[in-house]
Amino acid sequence: MSIIKWNKKSYSVEVQELDDQHQVLFNQINDLYEALEGQDSDNTLDELIARLLSTLRIHFAVEESLMRILGYEGYAPHKVIHDQCMGHLRQLEERFRQGDREAATELLQYIHAWLEGHIREHDRAYSEHFLSQGPGGLLKRFW
């Protein structure tokens, strides 16, 4: 069962590694959805939430590094959006850890909607710039 499904047409940012990371995030969101649907234990939910936030933190850092290295002018506002998202998720995670089970559902709904919109609106905006950098594209040489 899944609530979020990656497809190239809607979500590809044209960089394989970043597409792969987005798909890992989609899978982890689906895992959390299944755990909530299946009434899994608080321990399981806690682990899935921690894993999702950790993957997201790494993903944001990778995107932000590439933006800086490749001189992307949209870096600063993009980073603000990442930071706001992470701040909100941390609050929800903390509420869940304090015993508010509803916070896990809120977290799932929030990240589901946020990630779909963010990739389409903000991540896809860096593709052209990333792929235009360096002979043959800096990214293509490494990734």
Should residue 123 be labelled a site residue for Fe ion when binding is judged by CB under 5 A? yes
Interface map 53-92 toward Fe ion (x if CB under 5 A): ----------x-----------------------------
**Helix runs in 70-101, H state only:** 75-97
Provide, rounded to whole angstroms, the least separation between the CB of residue 7 and Fe ion: 15
Residue 93 sits in the site that holds Fe ion (CB under 5 A): no
Q: Do 116 and 4 meet the contact criterion of CB atoms below 8 Å apart?
A: yes
Nearer to Fe ion, 46 or 75 (CB): 75
Count of residues making up the chain: 143
Q: Given the complex with Fe ion, which of 93 and 123 has the nearer CB atom? A: 123
Name the DSSP class of 3. Answer: S
- Cβ atoms within 10 A of the Cβ of 33, count? 19
Residue number, 45 or 108, with CB nearest to Fe ion? 108
Interface region with Fe ion, contact rule CB under 5 A, candidates 84-92, 100-108, 120-128, 135-143: 120-128
Query: Which residue lies nearest Fe ion, judged by its C-beta?
Result: 123
Name residue 119's amino acid. I
| Triad 65, 81, 26: Cα angle to 5° | 80
| Cβ proximity to Fe ion, 31 vs 116, nearer residue | 116
Contacts with Fe ion by CB under 5 A lie at 63, 123
